Amino acid sequence: MVSDWGGMTFLIPYVLFVVLIGASGVIEEMALGRAAKGGPIKAFGCCTEIRTGKKKPGEIVGVIPVLGSLALAIGYTVVVGWIFKYTFLAISGGLFQFHQDMDAIAGLFGSTASAFGNNMWLVIAMVVTTVIMAFGIAGGIERANKVMMPLLFVLFLGLGIYIFTLPGAGAGYRYIFTIDPQKLLDGRLWIYAFGQAFFSLSIAGNGTVIYGSYLSESEDVVSSARNVAVFDTTAALLAAFVIIPGMAVGGAELSSGGPGLMFIYLLNVFNGMPGGRVVEMVFYICVLFAGLSSLVNLYEAPVEMLEERFGMKRKMAVACMASIGGIAALLIQGIVSGWIDAVSIYICPLGAMLAGIMFFWVAGDDFALSAVNQGKERPIGRWFLPLGRFVLVPAAAIALIAGALLGGIG
């Protein structure tokens, strides 16, 4: 999105929306999961029980974000399979052998992203994800992230420093710091920036609720939400400061975006750079860590559903979802872009809206404030309630409608 709209022109509204969503949606979903001590099915059931004395209606509605998480996980399994392949080829030197032959580079990605074009690496991606998840959310995700996230940051930081020293990088930095007043008046820019912030912070009524369910009662969810927003934005900015100057070094079109940016255009840039083989190897390792972390998060909601609703042991639940996800991912390889678009446009915003409605409207003020303020030394003000009711929930509805009209906004 930064490359599409031009540096600061996009980042200004994006950061504003990150602050808004971080101060409402992230806090709400973490607090909801912790208060209910479960995922969206249990959490939504808890909300309707408070209002009506019945869990069943909420539990039925809670299935929607769980299915959304599974559907998105299936699509991202395909993408992580691509990343595994490219990481291996980067380490082995296979990518560098293409040099700057755009036909060969594009052909590699075309064959990889085709129907049944990447079976082996997709299966490897699913096996690795299954092993990580088998340790459980506290031991698996957190243990993996303790290695993945700091290493990802260090690798990107080193890559950014390296690219800074290369001739031609200045054009990329100038592009990043560009502000176009005319584009700031374009309503589409604000809609796209909102969508990017919305999906980047993973507000969909599933994964963040799950993570919240594992937070201790002494944890300050407001502080945790702030950390999520800060680290997510920092990572996004760091990626922009690596990718866009890297494209400028190789003379690529800076407004290029989409999957081709990472698998075609950026590869062409790396292969033309001094030390490019090392740079592309570091880059794909970084992306692999990020992809695995996201994939584990997406599968967690349906795995947790099997544990809660069907009494499955952790490893059996992981094995079941890995089988479903892996088989489905193999079958949709040729249509994965449309698959992910459909899920992100309809199911994810719907899940976020439903979570907001349950927390702010159904469960009521006392529950919402109590859930958020637990573990917090200075209670949050009552401003939080109208922000959630009259800003967050309508914003999720806007994401759903605008996404449908514009063909995706995240």
Cα–Cα distance measured from residue 153 to residue 102, given in angstroms and rounded to the nearest whole number = 30
Q: What is the pLDDT of residue 48?
A: 96
Q: What is the pLDDT of residue 54?
A: 92
Tokens 């909601």 correspond to what residue?
301
pTM above 0.85, yes or no: no
Apex 102 CA angle, 99 and 108, nearest 5: 85
End-to-end Cα spacing for the chain: 9
Cα–Cα distance measured from residue 8 to residue 15, given in angstroms and rounded to the nearest whole number = 10
Domains and CATH numbers, the chain: 2-406 (1.10.4160)
Which residue, 74, 140, 134, is CA-closest to 347? 74
Q: What is the pLDDT of residue 126?
A: 95
Q: What is the pLDDT of residue 138?
A: 45
Q: What is the pLDDT of residue 144?
A: 60
Q: What is the pLDDT of residue 407?
A: 63
Q: What is the pLDDT of residue 141?
A: 54
Q: What is the pLDDT of residue 186?
A: 80
Angle between helices 393-406 and 348-356 (to 10 degrees): 170
Question: Tens digit of pLDDT per residue, the chain (410 long)?
Answer: 555 566 788 888 888 888 888 888 899 999 999 999 888 999 999 999 999 999 999 999 999 999 988 998 999 999 999 999 999 999 999 999 998 887 898 899 999 999 999 999 999 999 999 988 887 554 555 566 677 678 778 877 887 888 888 788 888 888 888 888 888 888 778 877 877 787 778 888 887 888 888 888 888 898 888 888 888 888 888 888 888 887 787 676 776 666 667 788 778 878 877 788 888 888 888 888 888 888 888 898 898 889 878 888 888 999 999 999 999 999 999 998 888 877 877 777 888 899 999 999 999 889 999 999 888 878 888 889 999 999 989 988 887 887 777 765 65
